[in-house]
Structure 1
Amino acid sequence: MNYSIKLFTALGIIGLLMGGVTPASAQQAEGEWISLFDGRTLNNWQASENPETFSVEDGLIKVDGPRAHLFYNGPVNDSIGYTTWDNGNDFKNFEFMADVKTTEGSNSGIYFHTEYQEEGWPEKGYEVQVNNTHDDPRKTASLYAIKDVMNDAPARDGEWFTMYIKVEDRDITIKVDGETMIEYTEPEEVDREGRVLDSGTFALQGHDPESVVYYKNIKVKPID
């Protein structure tokens, strides 16, 4: 390897380390944001019953089609004690962010502490609603059917907004563009099958054929 190649390689490594978010395969340090979407493919994601609902378009995940869910199943941060399971990494405490853009009348959602299932609405985990103008009165940032943002959405169709979700022990915080919309502490004893804090992966929802929604900059920061 000549000097110029060594220099180019070194500069490339420095550039990778200085980036704010790096791919899961290159990132193992606790306390740093880890990208879950490479902007080109759906590698490390697994779609359920109607996989054609999800595609990559211009660096975005496009959701457009019949009901389906896209589950993250890639390896992340095994070195700090997060257990890899058959369909991905088992997140418990974390911060999660994604940029989202809805279209008129669309409905979607972001699940956490969930697990892959072949069809139907996910039975495990919580859903954070993505809905600005769909006729469901539970709007964007609702912790769906647990603690809801009713009727007035905190974001607009056709405009990008940032969804932030934090789970730490029994506390859930949901923000839109930095504004806190939901703070919820799960009771120690709750009789609600499936809809309880546990651990699991993330999933994006394709709600119905009339709902077109876009996602980008999907990332997570595990909390020890």
Structure 2
Amino acid sequence: MKTIIIFTMGCLLTASGILYSQAPGGWVSLFDGKTLTGWKAAENPATFSVEDGAIMVAGPRAHLFYEGPVGNHSFKNFEWKAQVKTMPGSNSGMFIHTAYQETGWPAQGYEIQVNQTHTDWRKTGSVYSMQDVKETFVKDDEWYTEAITVQGKQVTVKINDKVINTYTEPDSLANSTIKRRLSRGTVALQGHDPKSKVLYKDIMIRILPD
């Protein structure tokens, strides 16, 4: 009987692993609301903590990379969304197609800006420095949904279900040696500076077909 139970548990774990790595699929949570399990912080880990079911970003520059089992933390085409709340004057970002990096601003992938009132003129929804947004669509101190869809060479950003930015990567970058382009990779959250405080919760991803 013990052998059968162990074998059954092994099959379930294996099936679970297969499910995590499958594509496409339904929405999957990347954050359990209690711990930073599955995430790895670089440079200043204390910038990230969990408060009232949300990831609180507050402190010196740091980046929190997803390194958990979903999709083996390597995504190509996907939808990624989170509930976000910014405090006045705060700056943060949601990175796509990036990779863990010990220090500095991530060299790989793109940052999707999170910023309503920080002095940086690139506001929420910008594909940072590639196709920027100057308008603001939400207010500080209010929860809103920021959703990012990556499909082929196109990035679509929605704020509260409204498309505010659609960026298509030019073919000229396809053979470039620079890392700041669409390829595949993990996702990450940014801690920008000690004066910025931003909260993230209900962090979900849905893997799309290649």
TM bracket (short chain): 0.7 to 0.9
What do you get for the CA RMSD once the two structures are aligned? Answer: 1.6
Match of 2:121 among 133, 137, 145: 137
Distance 1:25 1:56, change over 3 A: farther
Runs (4+) of structure 1 exceeding 6 A deviation are none
Deviations 1:174-193 (A, max 9, x none): 01001111111111222472
Name the residue aligned to 1:12. none
Counterpart secondary structure, 2:172: coil
With normalisation by structure 2, the TM-score equals: 0.87
Q: How does 1:199-210 map to 2 (within 5 A)?
A: 199-210=184-195
Match of 1:61 among 55, 60, 64: 55
Larger RCO, structures 1/2 (Cα 8 Å, 6+ apart): 2
Name the residue aligned to 2:183. 198
Aligned residues: 190
* Runs of 5+ consecutive residues of structure 2 not aligned to the other structure: 1-15
| Structure 1 residue 105 corresponds to structure 2 residue 109 | no
Q: How does 1:17-32 map to 2 (within 5 A)?
A: 28=20, 30-32=24-26
Instruction: Choose 119-128 or 191-200, whichever is displaced more.
Output: 191-200
Name the residue aligned to 1:166. 149
CA apart distance, 1:31 = 2.5
Deviations 1:43-85 (A, max 9, x none): 00000010000000111100000000000000114xxxxxx3x
Q: How does 1:145-156 map to 2 (within 5 A)?
A: 145-150=129-134, 152-156=135-139
Share of identical aligned residues, percent? 53
Whole-angstrom distance in 2 between the partners of 1:102 and 1:26: 36
Instruction: Choose 185-194 or 50-59, whichever is displaced more.
Output: 185-194
* Runs of 5+ consecutive residues of structure 1 not aligned to the other structure: 1-23, 78-83
CA apart distance, 1:42 = 0.2
Q: How does 1:34-73 map to 2 (within 5 A)?
A: 34-73=28-67
Whole-angstrom distance in 2 between the partners of 1:123 and 1:139: 20
